[in-house]
A and B are shown apart, each in its own frame.
Chain A
């Protein structure tokens, strides 16, 4: 059990040393909201100066871990011992063997592997994507910043304004990136979403055909 001063950047942000960029981003955003002076989760626990000191550590950790070069340099200085008693090193009752315990930081309910399926059954539509985004505490702009996809298109994806989206190849890429960003399996989600897109697209073209007659 390490005190805060002994924790490395990963432990401060509560992410695994192999965490992807998106996870680091999510963890950082969560830490920022958790450790404001008057945060609901913390105000009754923090002593004077606790939150400020932590915020400083969080910023430092994020500066390093969000920059791939700085991060690999930092990694080289770390001796990561897999058995070390990271606070989370010993996962709580793992739900399913494949469970990545640390991704729980992002989304609580989908991590048991089955909830993907029963997360409102059926297709991954725009509404469900939006649901996952909100659950992860992200704004459209956050996803835009990470994926470099225009927020307008991300909005269209959620609203399923298929007619306003570019052609399928692009949309598939957008949806994959969006899904990865909110902690879902990008390929699976895109496959599901694209079925709806194709259907919508066909219907639209048919509509246009009738209109033109």
Chain B
């Protein structure tokens, strides 16, 4: 009995000595149309091909399209059933895809009147996501920095941000990093007053003129050194990972490093450049064919880059690799 309880506790905790649970990887980016779903479909398919059990979850209830990227034309059930409380067990919403080891939870057929789940429903969903029986769970997030989007980003063991080498996407990506970091920070602050200051700093035109996390840190350190220390801890643990998609030039590739540097120097945030995917006509053809690129054109350049990123994700989670890098 005690043993069973322990196992259950370990499972809920998902700690290092607990029952192994899925690695939850959330993929966001702030801007729509940068290729998040394409990247999720292909990373998920790459890992599935390597023999891992993968579930790709479409977290975008207002713009569901992951099902198309993984080759499931008309999902019969979806996350919308969970949101509408027609189904309580997320496991029952899992669909098979044409790719071995890869399953899908779609987000189609939502209720247009109430697309986003309520706060309590979100909590339930996040708990259920953690419980899914797989080696990897990818959550493809919608655009923007809505609370629902940021919550899903936050529960991930790892948060990946997809960026296209264009001003709109880069701006939104910084917005996304800021939003994620400040939310995380607000949770970490123990005192109500400090949380209030964080909330104030989230307003870009705040009265104290705090523009960046580093400036906010200075402010909090002066006001309350203990909270300052907590701040630094949060900062260290926060490591968004970057993928630059649709790269055409050497400058586009360098953009990832540059963003890394700007995050470090101006935000005090350590981002990790996971890799880039080059512009490739076959990518578009694969979307038209409604299948992952690595499945239809495994030898194309972009497919090779994608599987390399997948292997890097795998290596990161290998025994011995520190899990501190999680978001």
Contacts and interface: CB of A to CB of B under 8 A. Distances in A.
A121 to B, nearest CB: 11
Q: List the 5 shortest-distance A-B pairs measured between CB atoms, nearest first.
A: A41-B258, A93-B325, A34-B258, A92-B325, A44-B171
A36 to B, nearest CB: 10
Interface stretch (B13-21, B55-63, B116-124, B315-323): B315-323
Contact of B253 (A43, A105, A135): A135
Interface in A32-71: 33-34, 39-47, 50, 54
Contacts of A105: 257
A159 interface: no
B294 to A, nearest CB: 14
A202 interface: no
29 contacts: A1-B232, A3-B214, A4-B265, A14-B261, A30-B257, A40-B165, A40-B255, A41-B258, A54-B265, A85-B232, A87-B268, A90-B236, A90-B270, A92-B239, A92-B270, A92-B324, A94-B321, A95-B315, A97-B320, A108-B256, A108-B257, A108-B276, A114-B311, A114-B315, A118-B311, A134-B250, A134-B253, A135-B250, A135-B253
A3 B251 CA distance: 28
A96 interface: yes
Given A108-B257, A134-B250, A92 B262 contact: no
Nearest to A95: B315
B110 interface: no
Interface string B169-207: 011001000000000000000000000000000000000
A203 interface: no
B11 interface: no
- Looking at chain A, what size class is its interface with the partner chain? 35 or more
Nearest to B312: A112
Interface in B135-192: 165-167, 170-171, 174
B259 interface: yes
B292 interface: no
- Judged by DSSP, the binding face of B is helix
B296 interface: no
B315 A112 contact: yes
With most chain B CB atoms within 10 A of its CB, the pick from A91, A93, A109 is: A93
Contact of A96 (B171, B236, B315, B324): B315
Nearest to B221: A1
Contact of B262 (A42, A109, A112, A114): A42
A44 B316 contact: no
A93 B322 contact: yes
A88 B322 contact: no
A88 B270 contact: yes
Contact of B316 (A39, A93, A97, A118): A93
A46 B235 CA distance: 20
A188 interface: no
Given A93-B321, A95-B321, A1 B262 contact: no
B273 A104 contact: yes
A115 B236 CA distance: 27
A112 to B, nearest CB: 5
A31 to B, nearest CB: 7
Of the listed residues A34, A54, A96, the one surrounded by the most CB atoms of chain B closer than 10 A to its CB is: A34
